[in-house]
Chains A and B, each alone.
Chain A
Amino acid sequence: MAEDIYQPLDQDIHTEPMILQMGPSHPATHGTVRFTLTLDGEKVIKCDTEVGYLHRGFEKECENSTWTQVFPYTDRLNYVSPLLNNFGYALAVERLLEIEVPERCNWIRTIMGEISRLSDHLTCVGAGGLELGAMTAFLYALEGRELVWDLIEEVTGARLTVSYGRIGGVKDDLTEDFADRWAYTRGRLQEIHANTHKLLTRNRIFLDRMQGTGVLTPEMGISYGYTGPVLRSTGVDYDVRKDHPYFMYGEVDFDVPVGDTGDNYDRYLVRMEEITQSIRIIDQCLERMEPGPVNSDDPRVVLPEKEKVYNSIEGMINHFKIIFEGIQVPPGEVYSYTEAGNGELGFYIVSNGTGKPWKIHVRSPSLIMMGGLHHLIEGGLLADIIPTFDTINMIGGECDK
């Protein structure tokens, strides 16, 4: 290791390894991560990853809030795809409550989840281009992301921190012109996708930098807990949406792209293909959706309508008790998992029967991927850290909770 290249002073050339801090404020470590690198020239010998610069105490906060007040905290976990976190948490609590949501709610959750996944993958691909120097690809991807955020803003009211999910449903139905806006957005997204392919996918320089760097073997991927596009790029066909379908993923038709070598280029290609598949899922959902109720009708869980709240005493008491005491979830524990943008997002929830959770643990894919990152970086060059760290797509909010 480092000791091998350290030669004592009486040799001809005095050599020692250089310790470089790629610290939390560095243009490439977006999401604030610190790498302490031991370098021999440009080769990385040892890498020590340090996370936690964005730790905000999500789990402790949740223990002091009611079940519904946790939703804004879940937005800020993976802040480029907040809807996926919202719905993952809602699914977990609904399993504890053992209630069913209406069918239209599941369609909406699928559509909005896939739109969020589009935003996540566009950000990752764009940032990959930017870090490697292809700034034009970055701006194209960001234009696509702006269109996606416009859609999200129409439906939920916010671009980034949406708090759209609720236990037992979602906050509001989709807008009436959603299908038209989606038709325009999807055409533009496909053009952007084609342009980004033309700029990057067969570019000799891009291939040189991304192929063969940051290679992950399937055994190491499974052992170190990698999931999502990173694991699928190594050849392991594991997607929660296909293996354990939830929401409406069992009813729509989509393919899961699987790579074969597990290097950065495969991860980039898997994400590009997933963008196409997400567009396909949303198209099918919009065709097959029927009008109907959006929230479950269980009065213990869902707030009553405003007319009943203001005009009848039962509605007012119901509303009051749900807001002040929280939804009374029966005691028990459950581990529920969904497919977020980076991999499997799991919530292990323990309830003690009151309106506030006893414990919520987030199994965040980014934190676990950072645990194995040093194996991908060591042995490579300093300049290979950039595409590797970028295609892993560590999001600071999710990693540090």
Chain B
Amino acid sequence: MSKKLIDFVAKHFADEVLDSHSRLGNDTVVLKRDRLPEIVERLRDDESTAMNMLRAITSVDYLNRIPRFEVVYVLYSISKKHMLTLRVVVEEEDCTAPSIHHLYGAAGWMEREVWDMYGVEFDGHPDLRRVLLYEEFEGHPLRKDYAKQASQPRLDLLVRERDSVEEFNVFYKSKPSEGSRDS
């Protein structure tokens, strides 16, 4: 509500700020991406802000806009009870952002989820792999150009692990019934 946090960021890192607003009660600052860890560290350690809790890291895909992605960080201070949203602009060709895993332990899995869903790589993250989907998944599903009904390639099963459904298909494909898709 008060613009105290926006003023703090604007005062110390004026040339990183692209935009800021306070609509709907959320203080938001739009930033360039390069000095983000420094800004977040300053926000965490300074006594006047003391933002010791990282609430969420997520990403938004604005498909028809250049730059395409924005990575959103929501910070909160338990003692001072104020919240700040940082939006970092990321381009499609250079889809990376700096990692803040050394500042907050929670950032580890949150950044993995953004990589999983949007394909934004985080520089410096020690273990960047998929968290919600399986490793062999192709593509990044929450991007707007990933169709909801897109199917994934079938993984090769070892002969020993063939399940009953596959056996059924193999057996009945050789003599499909009348009018079925395979006849």
B9-29 near A? 1/0 per residue, CB < 8 Å: 000000000000001111010
- Across the interface, B55 reaches (CB within 8 A) one of A60, A220, A363, A367, namely A363
- Across the interface, A359 reaches (CB within 8 A) one of B60, B133, B148, namely B60
Residues of A within 8 Å of B55, CB to CB, are: 225, 335, 337, 344, 346, 363
SS class, residues of chain B in contact with chain A: mixed
B52-83 near A? 1/0 per residue, CB < 8 Å: 11111010110000000000101000100101
Provide the bound-state CA to CA distance between A372 and B28, in Å: 28
Residues of A within 8 Å of B85, CB to CB, are: 335
Check A348 against B132 for contact (C-beta < 8 Å): no
User: Which B residues between 104 and 157 are near A, CB-CB below 8 angstroms?
Assistant: 104-106, 108-110, 113, 117, 130-134, 141-142, 146, 148
Decide yes or no whether A312 CB sits under 8 A from chain B: no
Interface size of B in residues (CB-CB distance below 8 Å): 36
Provide the bound-state CA to CA distance between A226 and B78, in Å: 12
Provide the bound-state CA to CA distance between A224 and B104, in Å: 6
Check A401 against B24 for contact (C-beta < 8 Å): no
A-B pairs with beta carbons under 8 Å apart, 26 shown:
A51-B132, A52-B131, A55-B133, A59-B142, A96-B24, A98-B24, A222-B52, A222-B53, A223-B104, A224-B105, A225-B54, A225-B105, A225-B106, A225-B110, A238-B78, A243-B81, A333-B60, A334-B24, A335-B26, A335-B56, A363-B74, A367-B109, A368-B106, A371-B106, A371-B109, A372-B105
B interface with A by C-beta (< 8 Å):
23-26, 28, 52-56, 58, 60-61, 72, 74, 78, 81, 83, 85, 104-106, 108-110, 113, 117, 130-134, 141-142, 146, 148
Q: Name 19 extra pairs, CB < 8 A, besides A225-B106, A372-B105.
A: A60-B146, A60-B148, A95-B24, A225-B105, A236-B78, A238-B78, A332-B24, A335-B55, A344-B55, A346-B56, A348-B56, A348-B72, A358-B60, A361-B56, A363-B58, A367-B109, A367-B131, A368-B106, A371-B108
